[in-house]
């Protein structure tokens, strides 16, 4: 067995409280492209970072809505991979286990994880751009007739735009979720950081916060990330391959 896996398992074997932060990389083997992967086909010419902002939506709501519909369709076709299942399995081993994700898909839940802390919202949900009935004004899209030539559809309450319930650049994260995530990281014995570039704040600071409070940091990523230099153990490779190996190592 790989030395890094053995080291990571040793940290986990003595841990009572575990926090996990996942990013787009954990869903990559499910066929969901990461945020910073090059897009294909029709969308290749757009920079996701320039579409995922309130300013972009105000400037061209149809473009941004349609791009999110494309992402929704990709996610709808995706199924959890062995990395998602390994995390759901891991949760059962520890008295306290908090799974925090920056992902807006529901693949962790589909794999059996519960109480997932979604820092960046939920792609399947839709809300009023103006939160006209209070934050957040969620709307059930299945009750609405959508004209594909005339998107975004109007909010049933105020008649203005609907948008996906995700956190865009320049927007603040949901406070409750951020508090849960910060507390979990600050009190964790071990933090697993999986499939994130560590480029986006405040999520990227959470593992560093935990590390300052004494947590051991284990990173799973095939590449270098902004969090790599803070890691006590680096598992270099795909999470769909390495997380099942980690679970197996814990059972030895």
Any idea which residues carry the catalytic annotation? 120
What is the DSSP track for 184-219? HHHH-SEEEEES--S-STTTTHHHHHHHHTT-EEEE
> What's the CA gap between 189 and 98, in Å, rounded?
12
The reply on whether position 34 binds ligand APR by CB under 6 A is yes
Q: Find, among 191, 190, 184, 194, the residue nearest to 223 by Cα.
A: 194
The reply on whether position 225 binds ligand APR by CB under 6 A is yes
Asked whether 125 and 165 are in contact (CB, 8 A), the reply is yes
The reply on whether position 24 binds ligand APR by CB under 6 A is yes
Minimal distance, residue 101 CB to ligand APR, in Å: 8
Burial 119-138 (b: 16+ CB within 10 A, else e): bbbbbebbbbbeeeeeeebe
The reply on whether position 178 binds ligand APR by CB under 6 A is no
The reply on whether position 35 binds ligand APR by CB under 6 A is yes
Minimal distance, residue 85 CB to ligand APR, in Å: 14
Minimal distance, residue 36 CB to ligand APR, in Å: 4
Q: Find, among 144, 227, 240, 132, the residue nearest to 185 by Cα.
A: 227
Q: Nearest residue to ligand APR, using CB?
A: 25
Interface with ligand APR in residues 138-177 (CB under 6 A): none
Interface with ligand APR in residues 78-117 (CB under 6 A): 102
Binding site for ligand APR (CB under 6 A): 23-26, 28-29, 34-36, 102, 120, 195-197, 199-200, 220-223, 225, 238-240
């Amino acid at each position: 067995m790989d030395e890094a896996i053995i080291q990571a398992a040793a940290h986990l074997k003595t841990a009572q409280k575990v926090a996990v932060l996942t990013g787009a990389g954990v869903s990559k083997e499910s066929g969901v492209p990461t945020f910073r992967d090059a897009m294909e086909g029709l969308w290749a010419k757009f920079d996701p970072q320039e579409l995922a902002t309130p300013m972009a939506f105000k400037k061209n709501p149809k473009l941004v809505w349609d791009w999110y519909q494309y992402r929704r369709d990709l996610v709808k076709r995706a199924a959890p991979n062995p990395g998602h299942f390994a995390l759901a399995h891991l949760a059962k081993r520890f008295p306290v286990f908090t799974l925090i994700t920056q992902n807006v898909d529901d693949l962790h839940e589909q794999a059996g994880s519960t109480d997932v802390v979604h820092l960046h919202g939920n792609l399947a949900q839709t809300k009023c751009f103006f939160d006209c009935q209070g934050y957040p004004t969620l709307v059930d899209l299945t009750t609405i007739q959508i004209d594909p030539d005339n998107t975004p559809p109007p909010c049933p309450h105020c008649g203005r735009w609907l948008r996906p319930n995700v956190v865009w650049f320049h927007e603040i994260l949901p406070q409750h979720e951020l508090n849960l995530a910060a507390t979990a990281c600050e009190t964790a014995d071990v933090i697993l950081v999986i499939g994130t570039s560590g480029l986006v704040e405040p999520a990227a600071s959470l593992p560093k916060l935990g590390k300052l409070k004494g947590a051991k940091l284990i990173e799973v990523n095939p590449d270098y990330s902004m969090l790599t230099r803070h890691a006590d153990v680096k598992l270099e490779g795909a999470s769909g391959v390495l997380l099942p190996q980690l679970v197996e190592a814990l059972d030895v």
